């Protein structure tokens, strides 16, 4: 009996020690869910969604907005450890952070094209590799933005049949729509990186279906422009009676100008580069520049038009750098040649001065 108790003694001690350890872990876990942190998380999430997001969407400085995304996203999203993840705001912040990475990738791409134009092979190879790595980073951030946008509205893009999400406000609609667009951009960036980011390609047909949940007229042709881009990437997804994707993009461009948000121009430029259609690229750049004189930008979403402008300008800069060795001069934006137009130029009559 005594020997049995002696054998049980260490076991009881070990069991009690284990119970105490578990209690200590539970207590520490409770401390980590500090009510002040939880309350702060709710306050920050609600402020970001209700006040900061509308303010940022009205900004005209795309570089400052992207810096905001890189700086604030880790802080705001860290509150997902103590409360619900702020997915709607988090989607937009990660979208902006993705833009930052892409702006750096653009500079590397232009450096590659300049070096290639000048015949500097080593510099061209180095810049090309930098561009690939930055495209991979951009793709990862944009895929995270897509995932957060889908989670924010509890939307399963692969569900059969399609069940559109409940989008209660206009801000919900634009957040969801930009999430779809960002998913498509992630695929393009991943392709430019040599598939380093591993973005799943099946999100393209999912985005195409989800875009039908939004009003195409209201959102300046963006939903249909996204669908047209998918039809070009994956022709099997194009419905039997759907029009030609390039026609859809052209119509979307016109709607975009009418609504004051020229995202379809940017999508046509990306599609034209991807599928080697220089005439469509020239068309997208020229019509974007022409619209500068007449468009009334949708003030609530000025940042969206500014980001689209950056995409189109980069497309123009790539063409100019590849063909002439330098980016587009300001007075030549909208044209693909450095030759000056002499027609319709007013000349001064020197006879009157003599």
Tell whether the model's pLDDT for residue 268 goes beyond 90: yes
In the predicted model, is pLDDT for residue 30 greater than 50? no
- pLDDT confidence of 21, banded at 50, 70, 90? very low
Q: Which of the four pLDDT bands, split at 50, 70 and 90, describes residue 342?
A: low
- Helix axis angle, 170-192 to 203-210, nearest 10°: 150
Per-residue model confidence (pLDDT) at position 25: 42
User: Looking up tokens 């949940």, which residue turns up?
Assistant: 213
Does the structure show a pLDDT above 90 at 83?
no
pLDDT at residue 111 above 70? yes
Percentage of the chain beyond pLDDT 70 is: 87
Share above pLDDT 90 across residues of the chain, in percent, rounded to a whole number: 74
pLDDT at 141: 98
Q: Give me 287's structure tokens.
A: 């019509």
Give the residue among 6, 136, 137, 153 at the shortest CA–CA distance from 91: 153
| Cα 247 from Cα 231, distance rounded (Å) | 12
pTM of the model: 0.85
Confidence bin at 349 (pLDDT 50/70/90)? low
The stretch 48-65 carries a mean pLDDT of 93
pLDDT of residue 351: 54
State yes or no: pLDDT of 134 exceeds 80: yes
End-to-end CA distance of the chain: 131
Domain boundaries, the chain: 53-198, 215-333
What is the Rg, in whole angstroms, of the alpha carbon atoms belonging to the chain? 26
pLDDT in tens, 280-295: 999 999 999 999 999 9
**pLDDT above 60: residue 352:** no
203-233: pLDDT as tens digits: 999 999 999 999 999 999 999 999 999 999 9
Residues 276, 321: contact at Cβ < 8 Å?
no
Determine the Cα–Cα distance for residues 288 and 263; give it in Å rounded to an integer: 10
Task: Give the pLDDT confidence score for residue 225 in this predicted structure.
Answer: 97
C-alpha to C-alpha distance for 284 and 309, rounded to whole angstroms: 11
**CA-angle at 301, arms to 314 and 306, nearest 5°:** 15
> For the residues 32-49, what does the mean pLDDT come to?
82
Q: Which of 169, 90, 99 is nearest to 134 (CA)?
A: 99
Mean pLDDT of the chain: 88
Taking a C-beta distance cutoff of 8 angstroms, is the pair 313, 272 a contact?
A: no
Taking alpha carbons only, the member of 251, 255, 204, 194 closest to residue 229 is: 204
Q: How far apart are CA 230 and CA 238, in angstroms?
A: 8
**Which pLDDT value is given to residue 46?**
87
User: Are 148 and 91 in contact, with CB atoms under 8 Å apart?
Assistant: yes
pLDDT higher than threshold 90 for residue 147: yes
DSSP code at position 123: H
For the record, the structure tokens of 148 come out as 């957060």
Task: Flag the least confident range among 100-109, 155-164, 334-343.
Answer: 334-343
Confidence of residue 308 (pLDDT cuts 50, 70, 90): very high
Task: State the angle between helix axes of 87-118 and 121-152 in degrees (0 to 180), rounded to the nearest 10.
Answer: 170
In terms of pLDDT, which residue wins out, 35 or 330?
330
Distances from the Cα of 57 to the Cα of 32, 174, 292, angstroms: 34, 10, 20
The SS3 assignment for 214 reads: coil
Cβ–Cβ < 8 Å for 87, 148: yes
């Amino acid at each position: 009996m005594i020997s049995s108790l002696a054998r049980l003694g260490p076991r009881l001690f070990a069991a009690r020690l284990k119970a105490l350890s578990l209690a200590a872990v539970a207590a520490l876990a409770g401390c980590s869910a500090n009510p002040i942190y939880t309350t702060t998380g709710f306050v920050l999430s609600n402020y970001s969604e209700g006040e900061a997001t509308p303010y940022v969407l009205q900004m005209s400085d795309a570089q400052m907005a992207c810096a905001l995304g890189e700086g604030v996203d880790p802080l705001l999203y860290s509150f997902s450890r103590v409360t619900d993840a702020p997915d709607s705001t988090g989607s937009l912040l990660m979208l902006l952070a993705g833009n930052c990475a892409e702006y750096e990738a653009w500079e590397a791409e232009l450096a590659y094209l300049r070096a290639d134009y000048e015949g500097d092979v080593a510099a061209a190879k180095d810049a090309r590799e930098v561009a690939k790595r930055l495209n991979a980073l951009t793709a990862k951030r944009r895929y995270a933005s897509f995932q957060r946008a889908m989670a924010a509205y509890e939307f399963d893009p692969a569900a059969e049949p399609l069940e559109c999400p409940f989008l209660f406000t206009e801000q919900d609609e634009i957040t969801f729509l930009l999430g779809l667009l960002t998913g498509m951009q992630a695929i393009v960036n991943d392709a430019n990186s040599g598939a380093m980011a591993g973005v799943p390609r099946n999100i393209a047909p999912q985005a195409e279906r989800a875009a039908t949940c939004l009003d195409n007229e209201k959102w300046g042709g963006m939903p249909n422009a996204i669908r047209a881009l998918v039809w070009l990437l994956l022709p099997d997804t194009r419905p039997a009676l759907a029009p030609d994707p390039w026609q859809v993009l052209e119509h979307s461009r016109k709607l975009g100008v009418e609504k004051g948000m020229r995202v379809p121009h940017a999508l046509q430029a990306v599609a034209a580069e991807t599928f080697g259609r220089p005439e469509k690229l020239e068309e997208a750049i020229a019509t974007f520049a022409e619209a500068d004189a007449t468009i009334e930008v949708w003030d609530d979403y000025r940042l969206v038009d500014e980001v689209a402008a950056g995409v189109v300008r980069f497309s123009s800069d790539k063409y100019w750098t590849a063909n002439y060795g330098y980016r587009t001069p300001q007075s030549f934006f909208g044209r693909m040649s450095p030759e000056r137009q002499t027609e319709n130029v007013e000349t001064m009559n020197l006879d009157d001065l003599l």
